Amino acid sequence: MPAEAMTTPLTNLLEGLSVEVHPDAPLAPLTWFGVGGCCDALVRPLDLPALQETLRRCRAAGVSVRVLGSGANLLVDDAGVDGVVLRLDRGAFTAWTFDADGASGRVRAGGGADMSKLMHEAARLGWAGLEAMSGIPASVGGAIWMNAGGKFGAIGDVVDSITLVNGEGVASTVARDAIRFAYRHTELPRGIVAEACMQLRRDDASAVRDRVRDHMRYKKASQPMAEHSAGCMFRNPTLPSGERVSAGMLIDRAGWKGRREGSAHVSPTHANFICVDPGGRAADVRRLVEAIMAGVREAHGVTLQTEVAFWKRGDRAGAI
C-alpha cells in the first residue's frame, strides 16, 4: 500500500497509546549510512505496555513492524520501507540500573539503551565485561540480536537474561541457558529485546578504562570510523575446512579495495567497509555489494553473506 494511503490509518490505529507517531518519517538521518527513504510511520513507545499494545494492534491490522536501533548494520532502500518502524529511544527503554548493593555486577538495561554510554559508565564504576563493545555503534537490543562484537569478545559473553516481546505483544523472560549465541547471530524467537540483564565482573576502574582506550585506538587505526558506513558489510566466511577467514582480506585480494560504484566505495582502510558520500544513494551500495560478492566468488570460490540488513518496500525482511 502506498505511503500516503497508510499515513492516516496508522496514526489512527495507535490513537490513545503512550507513543510518539511520526508519519512519513525520513530514516536516513537515523542510520549510519545516512541514505535511504522514509517509513510510513516512525513510532516511539514510551513504556512497555505501549510497546505491547502497538504490536497487538499492528498484528491485528496486518501492518508490518520493524525495529530500528542505533542505525548501524542497516541499509534502507531509496524508496523507503512500508509499515511501522519502532524506535525504543524514549523513557525506560534507554535507561540502565546496577543492582542496588553495588556488589553483584548485574546491570539491567533497556533495549534502546546506548551501548557505548553503558560501557563507559560500567568502566567508570569498575565493572568489566563490556569493553569488547568499544567502537561498536549499537543499542543494547540491537547488539544482542546480532551478538555484536569483534576481536576482543562479544555481547553474548555477558548476557544473563532478556525480556523479549513477540509480534503479538506478549512479553517473556528468556534465561541465558535458553539463548544460543553464535558468530554475529543470536538464536531467539522473533521479537523485540525490551530489556536485558547482564553480568559483569569487578575490576580496577583504571584498568577497564585503559582496555576501552586500547580497543578504541585499534578500531580507529584499522577502520574508517569517521565515514558514512554501517560497519562490516560481510560476515567472515567459514571455509569447507572449518577455518574462518577475513571477508576483508578476500575482498582486498580480489582487487576491490578502494573501488567505487556511484556514491559508494570500498574503504581503502578496511575492505569490509563500504562508505557512502554525503547525499549518496542506497542503490549504489546495493550494486557495489552485488559486484563485490560476484568478484569474491570468481576469485576465491567463496560466497559472502551480508552482515548488514536491507530494508525495502514490499519485502518482509527485518519485520517481526
- The domain ranges of the chain are 3-86, 92-208, 236-304
User: Is it the case that residue 4 has pLDDT exceeding 50?
Assistant: no
In single-letter form, the type of residue at position 204 comes to D
CATH topology classification for 92-208: 3.30.465
Compute the half-sphere exposure of residue 211: CA atoms within 13 Å on the CB side of its CA: 21
Q: Which residues contact 24 (CB under 8 A, 6 or more apart)?
A: 3, 4, 7, 38, 39, 40, 41
Q: Output 67-70 pairs: Cβ under 8 A, ≥24 positions apart.
A: 67/141, 67/142, 67/192, 67/320, 68/27, 68/30, 68/31, 68/42, 69/112, 69/138, 69/139, 69/141, 69/142, 69/143, 70/32, 70/114, 70/115, 70/137, 70/138, 70/139, 70/142
In contact, 286 and 310? CB cutoff 8 Å: yes
What fold does the segment set 3-86 form as a domain?
3.30.43
| CATH number assigned to the domain covering 236-304 | 3.90.78.10
Provide the pLDDT for residue 2: 39
Average pLDDT, the chain: 93
**Predicted pLDDT at 177:** 94
| Residue 5 binned pLDDT confidence (cut-offs 50, 70, 90) | very low
Q: According to the model, what pLDDT value does residue 222 have? A: 76
Angle of helix 48-61 relative to helix 3-13, nearest 10 degrees, comes to: 130
- Please state the separation of Cα 236 from the chain's center in Å: 17
Instruction: Identify the residue with better confidence: 317 or 49.
Output: 49
Residue whose grid cell is 568502566: 123
The alpha carbon of residue 186 and the mean position of all alpha carbons in its chain are separated, in whole angstroms, by 12
CA separation for the pair 6, 280 (Å, rounded): 27
Q: Is 216 exposed, middle or buried (0-12, 13-18, 19+ CB in 10 A)?
A: middle
